[in-house]
Chains A and B, each alone.
Chain A
Amino acid sequence: MIEILTSPAFNTIQDLGRRGARRFGVSTSGAMDPVALAAGNALLGNDDNAAGIEIQTFPFRLRFQTDVAFALTGADHDATLAGSAVRPWWCMQAKAGDVLAVTAPRRGARVYATFGGGIDVPRVLGSRSTHLRGGFGGLEGRTLQAGDVVPIGRSPLRSDGRFDFGVAPPDVAITGAAPADDRVLRIRVMRAGEYDLFSEAMQAAFWSTTWKISARSDRGGYRLTGGKLTLDAPVEMRSHGVVAGVVQVPPGGEPIIQMSDANTAGGYPKMAAVIEADLWRLGQAAPGSFIAFSEVSYQDAVAAMDPVNDYLAKLRATADLYRAL
């Protein structure tokens, strides 16, 4: 068990998301940076999909009530365990009574705390992810707050196994994933259904604009500012399903990218869709930061997942090997 000591707002229990329930109007939820969550779980020998805590407001503090192995992944941050520094992308063994404290990231938006055995809240519709709007999943369907006691499952590993090691984060380990220009994150997208309805000038503006992620952005979606994309004639769209990463353009002209907690339905013209291989990087982009879009083909979008999958597979193999030494 762990006890939450400090949690300002909007920190929730998440796994890789709820699949197969969109047809009931249920959005997937799930970690905004699924690679970081899966990596933390791999460090601990958990299933990739084990639930952890998505920390997006700081400082965050918890106390271990029992001896538990844990890992911190995601945004580049500072943390301490019982007063001693813990490095990001690192796993350690905590003792009962130890306090873990995580401070605001230098870069990135979300830190993931994972635990050997995973967070053991009940699965709802197949997932432990918190569905805030619906008020289910996670811990009673709500954000974590001071005083909460969160159950941890049984670790698949022996408790005397070796911990205290780490890995290179994916934006360092995956060639090309690190932003060339540190101030503008380049996001690869594919064209979507209504791209051709926009004039050439508007299409060009979409690609050339450096978009700012506005303050009115959250797990539901990112609102972009920096330009307006308008249609020559308004188009009447019927409500249809959407997935995370879709870039829709409402009548006001400022694009919105749907994220993990997005509504299952949309009805605005769709300009593009962020490819799966870049969605986790977008999940680490904070309000106020800048992004720019570049186009890839379907085949390139599919191939772009290979380095991500390779990274996670190597990480898991290395962690398993290291613990066995």
Chain B
Amino acid sequence: MSINQPNAPFVGTIEKSPKISLIGTLAMLVEAPGDFDLVQQGRIWALADAVSSWPNVQEAVIGVTNVMLVFEQPPADIGMLSASIVELWHRVPSRKADGKLIEIPVVYGGELGFDLPAVASRAGLSERAVIRIHSEGEYTVCAVASSPGFGYLHGLDPRIYMPRKSVPSLNMRAGSVTIGGMQTGVAVLTSPNGWNAIGWASVAMFDPQREQPSLMLPGDRVRFRIDRIEL
């Protein structure tokens, strides 16, 4: 018997244990219970660190309060593996956001920060106030996903939340500093993008030639510094 099957003992239904489900035979998703917070995210980081060295685990892919294990071969005993993960989840101490501090100088506004007026208007603030709020925050890299080197940053001030666009901007430049819903980020690739550009940074976020290609890693902290303001 296996999980994702009728009548299987669904490991994730025990209170406060993670939900565990399979995505085919070579991937297993472990989702933390409860609401999003940095403590749960820290437990996910710690869990990912630990299981990465387990035999047959090709990698642990961190998401937002979840981690996907990718296997070299289909695990022989899914039930046993799930139980080990649940046991580890309850035992492992949450990791703090103890990564490196990344400082990103931003040219706010101007040609590449073309959505700044719309963000200010929605917030009922001046453009300068939006810039001040964004640049005074300290952000945590929850996960790196979606595009090569793209960090999901937590810590945006709710006053400057801005929903994603229903029609993406075509060819938003790599390096665009953006707000999407309750998150902020730095676009890594020049491509269509539904987030709102408020500035631009000339920081190399991703270099595939390096063994560790991503500047941002889960647990890192990010500060945006005002390099220049163009209004």
Contacts and interface: CB of A to CB of B under 8 A. Distances in A.
Interface string B146-168: 11111010000000000000000
Given A25-B148, A243-B70, A263-B146, A273 B23 contact: yes
Contact of A265 (B2, B26, B63, B67): B63
Contact of A24 (B19, B58, B78, B148): B148
Interface stretch (A50-58, A151-159, A174-182, A295-303): A295-303
A55 B50 CA distance: 41
Nearest to B213: A24
B186 to A, nearest CB: 12
B27 A301 contact: no
A264 B23 contact: no
A192 B27 CA distance: 11
B58 A19 contact: yes
A192 B4 contact: yes
A264 B145 CA distance: 6
A276 interface: yes
Interface in B185-202: 188-189, 191
A23 B61 contact: yes
A219 interface: no
B5 A264 contact: no
A181 to B, nearest CB: 25
Interface residues of A, number: 43
Contact of B59 (A20, A191, A193): A20
Given A298-B25, A298-B78, A241 B63 contact: yes
Given A238-B36, A239-B63, A270-B23, A24 B70 contact: no
Nearest to A274: B24
Nearest to B209: A124
Interface of B: 2-5, 19, 21-27, 29, 31, 36, 58-68, 70, 74, 78, 143-150, 152, 188-189, 191, 206, 208-209, 213-214
The 6 A-B pairs of least Cβ separation, nearest first, read A241-B68, A241-B61, A193-B21, A240-B63, A298-B2, A273-B24
